[in-house]
Amino acid sequence: MENSGYSLSAPQNYPEIIPSLIDYIGSKRVAGFDSIEANNNVSDHSQEAGYQPSLTDGGSEVPISQNDASQTIKSQHSVSISMPSSPVGALLQSPKRVLFSDKNETIPANEALHTSAQSETASSQQPKTKYYSQPMPRGSANPEVVIDGACLHHFRERLRNPRMDRLKDKRFDPFKTWSGRLERQISNLRGKPQEEPEANVSQSTEIEALPVDRYFDALEGPELDTLRASEEIVLPEDKQWPFLLRFPISSFGICLGISSQAIMWKTLATSPSTDFLHISLTVNLVLWCISLVLTAIVSLTYILKVILYFEAVRREYYHPIRVNFFFAPWIVLLFLALGVPPSVAKNLHASLWYILMTPIFCLELKIYGQWMSGGQRRLSKVANPSNHLSIVGNFVGALLGASMGLKEAPIFFFAVGLAHYTVLFVTLYQRLPTNETLPKELHPVFFLFVAAPSVASMAWAKIQGSFDHGSRISYFIALFLYFSLAVRINFFRGFRFSLAWWAYTFPMTGASIATIKYTNEITNPVTQSLSVILCSVAMLTVTALLITTCIHAFVLQNLFPNDIAIAISDKRPKSQRKWFHLRTGSSDTRDIENYLKFAFPDSKDNEASPKAQVPDDEALGPNNGHNV
């Protein structure tokens, strides 16, 4: 460890406050190590060797109570790593050390102060010592100069303004567009008082695109949004991030859910086979207007996010599951066009269709090409049920185009969608061992399986003119998948609610609409009752989801939690390589075993761990165990 750093003289250009801090940290250093070891075995909420210095008295130790053991371990490690008391000092010592073993580590001085300042002001919060990782620019030429300036500047600012204004919180800068320069430009334009010119604009240069492996290593869960215990994130965890940073692209799922409901009620009202229900078109009108408003709100918010926090949007794009949601806005627009009430517009112009399909086409070219050309984002590695969102757009576009009377272009999209759907379907059914993203348990995301065949059947019926054999085959496949998921409903348990669940309701609605279309063709009591049942189920699900959403929004106030998935660091924390290598579903015995293995590491033990972390797909060789 970089233990030599702390013992050097305090940097002269820092105010006096620092030396006491340094001394305090130094005196507790050994204790920190001991307590980490103890905590590993005990794994309780032990008192952290308080790295919570305060400005006033360098000796008080604020006990940190962690919420769970993993947090303890995590923060322990973050504490132990950020040993060098003064980055500037470490810099003077050896420039390489600045990067603290070449990963995103902290600048303890200012952050510690920041923490203490924060804990003073927010007493209701759980004060935790978090050393916030700041992303280091890769390959930056003069890291030491950069850090120096950053520390200095931050420190000065903190001293001047201990009450932090969240908008001016520099920690979120790397996620802002052009690292916050755009925001400053906007403030300049609005005539706000100019802040101190950043001496270190280069500090928050663009982070390179994260390789997909990082997402798999750092996250877990069916939606890949839960941080693994061994990982750290580059943004503060205990603080609520700016709203835009917490606004994921999966929020478009709400629009998907509601607009598909609008289509369903329109179909119910206009189909001859459901005339006996006497549904009026008003429901469709109301729902359509609601979905229009919702879409506008969500789109505007996300556009703001793109403008102001482009880096966060980029990270979402590179997330193997969230990337599929980039199709969602266009699918929503297609749904809106499909569900437009007859009182609003009778016939839509064909050029609208071309406008709506162009973004889908471009996205497709990119994403399907990634699947095919291999590399880190090849399909056998990233296939997951959310990929259905990438495929369904083709079928929805074909359906809309055929409804508008276009002839050739809907067939084009149908063909492309069908070919790629076959590939995806087979891949998901195979559950390849190289596939890391498939949830092991049932999860609402599996309902997306129903989406593609049901919409494809409707599209084919529109293209051919009648609900013929091809449509029926597709519809029956959708029905079968629906039932095989519905009978397993009791296995859908124990999942954290997320906004993406809205996206999983539109397949149910799609299946109901397909059933209505089928009933139009084959009208008898069985099909009619089936359509009524499926429509009611869809409606109930959406209502339940609406209530849950409202509860989370207004009562629990956690509808938009911190979006951990975009804030993963781009390198595995070094200490984890030493102490653990947790993969999915680590067991306690494995933890202890690994701990004992690395309990007394050599000083140069780091090379042992990378070897041990052979990714699954490479470990099995090129055939990945298919020679059975």
Partner 1 sequence: MEAHNASPTQQIRIAVKVETSPTTTEPVNNVVVAEQHLISQILIQFHAGYFRIGLSLCCQALLWKTLREGEDQGDIALFTTGTLSVVYLLRCLLHFEMVKAEFLDHIGVNYLFAPWISWLLLLQSSPFLSPKTFHYLILWWVFTVPILALDVKIYGQWFTKGKRFLSMVANPTSQLSVIGNLAGSSAAAQMGWKEAALFLFSLGMAHYLVLFITLYQRLSGSSSIPTMLRPVSFLFIAAPSMASLAWDSISGTFDISSKMLFFLSLFLFLSLVSRPTLFKKSMRRYSVAWWAYSFPLSVLALASTRYAQEVKGGVAHGIMLGLSALSVFVSLVLMLFTALNTNMLFPGSTSPSPYNSGSIE
Q: What is the closest distance, in whole angstroms, from the C-beta atom of residue 335 to partner 1 in the complex?
A: 23
Scanning 49-57, 207-215, 239-247, 371-379 for contacts with partner 1 by CB under 8 A, the matching segment is: 371-379
Interface with partner 1 includes 556 (CB under 8 A)?
Answer: no
Scanning 5-13, 272-280, 374-382, 576-584 for contacts with partner 1 by CB under 8 A, the matching segment is: 374-382
Q: What is the closest distance, in whole angstroms, from the C-beta atom of residue 372 to partner 1 in the complex?
A: 6
Question: CB-based contacts of 560: which residues, under 8 Å, 6+ apart?
Answer: 243, 246, 247, 248, 499
Per-residue three-class SS string for 520-570? HHCCCHHHHHHHHHHHHHHHHHHHHHHHHHHHHHHHCCCCCCCCHHHCECC
Per-residue three-class SS string for 234-297? CCCCCCCCCHHHHCCHHHHHHHHHHHHHHHHHHHHHHCHHHHHHCCCHHHHHHHHHHHHHHHHH
Contact with partner 1 (CB under 8 A): which of 209, 297, 419, 544? Answer: 419
Interface with partner 1 includes 369 (CB under 8 A)?
Answer: yes
Scanning 138-146, 212-220, 317-325, 419-427 for contacts with partner 1 by CB under 8 A, the matching segment is: 419-427
Which lies closer to partner 1 via its Cβ, residue 155 or residue 371? 371
Interface with partner 1 includes 356 (CB under 8 A)?
Answer: no
Which lies closer to partner 1 via its Cβ, residue 608 or residue 620? 620
Cα distance between residue 236 and residue 128, in whole Å: 11
Interface with partner 1 includes 534 (CB under 8 A)?
Answer: no
Contact with partner 1 (CB under 8 A): which of 123, 490, 589, 623? Answer: 623
- Contact mark string toward partner 1, 384..413, x via CB under 8 A: ------------------------x--xx-
Interface with partner 1 includes 365 (CB under 8 A)?
Answer: yes
Interface with partner 1 includes 281 (CB under 8 A)?
Answer: no
Interface with partner 1 includes 209 (CB under 8 A)?
Answer: no
Lookup: tokens for 504: 């999983």
DSSP SS3 for 211: coil
For residue 233, the 8-state DSSP code is: B
Interface with partner 1 includes 627 (CB under 8 A)?
Answer: yes
Question: CB-based contacts of 2: which residues, under 8 Å, 6+ apart?
Answer: 83, 84, 90, 97, 100, 101
Interface with partner 1 includes 353 (CB under 8 A)?
Answer: no
Q: What is the closest distance, in whole angstroms, from the C-beta atom of residue 583 to partner 1 in the complex?
A: 20
Lookup: tokens for 411: 């067939």
Q: Are 441 and 223 in contact (CB under 8 A)?
A: no
- Structure-derived torsion over alpha carbons of residues 137, 139, 145, 148, reported in degrees to the nearest 10: 40
Apex CA 366: angle with CA 363 and CA 367, to 5°?
85
Which lies closer to partner 1 via its Cβ, residue 394 or residue 498? 394
| Adjacent-strand bridge partners of 220 | 226
Contact with partner 1 (CB under 8 A): which of 113, 312, 333, 416? Answer: 416
Contact with partner 1 (CB under 8 A): which of 312, 432, 451, 456? Answer: 432
Interface with partner 1 includes 626 (CB under 8 A)?
Answer: yes
DSSP SS3 for 127: coil
Contact with partner 1 (CB under 8 A): which of 132, 309, 371, 449? Answer: 371
Q: What is the closest distance, in whole angstroms, from the C-beta atom of residue 363 to partner 1 in the complex?
A: 12
Cα distance between residue 509 and residue 513, in whole Å: 6
Lookup: tokens for 341: 């009430």
Count the neighbouring beta carbons within 10 Å of the beta carbon of residue 125. Answer: 12
Interface with partner 1 includes 422 (CB under 8 A)?
Answer: yes
Residues between 446 and 465 that touch partner 1 (CB under 8 A): 463-464
Cα distance between residue 43 and residue 528, in whole Å: 59
Number of residues that bind partner 1 (CB under 8 A): 34
Interface with partner 1 includes 373 (CB under 8 A)?
Answer: yes
Interface with partner 1 includes 161 (CB under 8 A)?
Answer: no
Contacts to partner 1 by CB under 8 A: 365, 368-369, 371-375, 378-380, 383, 408, 411-412, 414-416, 418-420, 422-423, 426-427, 432, 434, 463-464, 622-624, 626-627
